[in-house]
Amino acid sequence: MNIQPRNFLLAAVCAAWLGSAFAAPDARIATLAAKEKPALLETLKELVSIESGSRDLEGLEKISDLIAAKFKAMGGEVELIDPSADAYRMEDTPEKIGRVVRATFKGTGKKKIMLIAHMDTVYTVGMLNKQPFRVEGDKAYGLGIADDKQGVAVITHTVAMLQALKFKDYGTLTVLINGDEEISSPGSRTLITRLGGEHDAVLSFEGSSVKEDKLSLATAGIASVTLNVTGKASHAGSAPEQGVNALYELSHQILQMRDLSDPATGLKMNWTISKSGSNRNVIPASAAAGADVRVLKVSDYDRIEQQVQERVKKQLIPEAKVEMKFERRRPPLEATDASRALAKHAQQIYKDELGKPLGADDAVAGGGTDAAFAALKTKAPVVERFGLQGFGAHSADAEYVLVDSIEPRLYLATRMVMDLSRNKLPGN
Ligand SMILES: [Zn+2]
């Protein structure tokens, strides 16, 4: 890059002129971000106009083709990966899972940086009619626009900006867009974890909040416990002693596993669903229950699974058959020194170059994300919420993103890739 001297001068002049404490933005990047803003809105319109629920294979095929074409047009080496065969199969995992778009850009440097987002939504076919794309004032509305189509759009236009800047100081810039995030990433999780381990930094583009412009360093880990008890049916009136009451055994199991939450570590386990029996006058031959588990630390996953494995062995009715399934829906993302340093650098860019505050939340709030899979087997920094400020994910409210957050977030993502490539982060 050969624009530094001019920008430096410009920055100095601007700072002096404004009399402010912060240096001005890199003018060329700021100009590009402004130029990309309408293009990004156009991309958002395209993405939102294709319905892509996690189980809508047709929609996912369409949207993955569109995204693949965009990165191909920018010179990326693009693969469409079908992750169905090696999926981690959970109760609700569909037979076939949407494809993952992986785009690779080769640079002249050494650093390997990955940008991730997801293209699937929680919505079902037909809901788009009620929430078509539209811009009203500072809000761009659309189904799935905040979670997480804005993430796909921000990554797309960040890559476009890097291209326009002819920036190639990274070694590898990987873009990974999956289509199964909202069903706990059964297909893409292995790939995300493997690639996370092969990169020097991962920026994840779930949306930031409307209330506070911020990054996230920690997200919740989610698991589920399913119990299936098989007994033996018998007439409840004439021969109850010949039956094996599955409901009694299930009730015993639930009660003996009602105290596994641990407030000290933030571990929560709560039984939330159950069903049993078919008729009032029949000893129930089957009973099932499910519990919701939340963890803040990966190690708590192992601990709670072990505890459940132990407890479940203590049966009330030895003749009943008890099957337990512990599903790791999504690991937690834990804040690390590396992720704190990366977030701090982002905060500095925001403050020094844009004069804006940026939060970096290391308290777990809300749902889990794919950033946690990326962080599972690496010490490299993984930071969440590089996306636009938005509202209404998974709700019945109209989902929107703040149009005014487009320029600063494009600026930030571009600057982060540049500084990560050039080893400008502390601790690197
Ligand atoms: Zn999401």
Which CATH superfamily hosts domain 8-219+333-421? Zn peptidases (3.40.630.10)
**Catalytic choice (181, 182, 206, 399):** 181
**Catalytic choice (120, 182, 353, 361):** 120
| Cα of 300 from ligand 1 centre, angstroms | 24
351-406 pLDDT per residue, tens:
999 999 999 988 886 678 999 999 999 999 999 999 999 998 877 778 999 999 99
80-91 pLDDT per residue, tens:
999 999 999 998
Residue 392 contacts residue 146 (beta carbons within 8 Å)? yes
Question: Would you kindly state where each structural domain of the chain is located, as residue ranges?
Answer: 8-219+333-421, 221-330
More reliable by pLDDT, 103 or 5: 103
120 is catalytic: yes
- Average the pLDDT over 38-59 and give the result: 98
Residue 21 has a pLDDT of 54
Q: What is the pTM of this model?
A: 0.89
| Cα of 182 from ligand 1 centre, angstroms | 7
| Cα of 368 from ligand 1 centre, angstroms | 9
Strands 100-106 and 201-204: unpaired
When pLDDT is cut at 50, 70 and 90, the band that residue 19 belongs to is very low
| Cα of 122 from ligand 1 centre, angstroms | 9
Residue 208, classed as helix, strand or coil, is strand
Burial status of residue 24 (CB atoms within 10 A of its CB: 0-12, 13-18, 19 or more): buried
The CATH architecture of the domain made up of 221-330 is: 2-Layer Sandwich (3.30)
Residue 329 contacts residue 368 (beta carbons within 8 Å)? yes
147-182 pLDDT per residue, tens:
999 999 999 999 999 999 999 999 999 999 999 999
Q: How far apart are the first and last CA of the chain?
A: 21
| Cα of 278 from ligand 1 centre, angstroms | 39
| Cα of 291 from ligand 1 centre, angstroms | 23
Spatial distance between the Cα atoms of 274 and 83, rounded to a whole number of angstroms: 32
Share of the chain above pLDDT 90, in %: 87
- The mean predicted confidence, pLDDT, of the chain is 93
- Cα atoms found within 13 Å of the Cα of residue 155, Cβ hemisphere only: 35
| Cα of 331 from ligand 1 centre, angstroms | 15
Longest dimension (CA), the chain: 95
| Cα of 206 from ligand 1 centre, angstroms | 6
Amino acid at 137: G
Question: Does pLDDT of 273 surpass 80?
Answer: yes
More reliable by pLDDT, 7 or 252: 252
Question: Does pLDDT of 11 surpass 90?
Answer: no
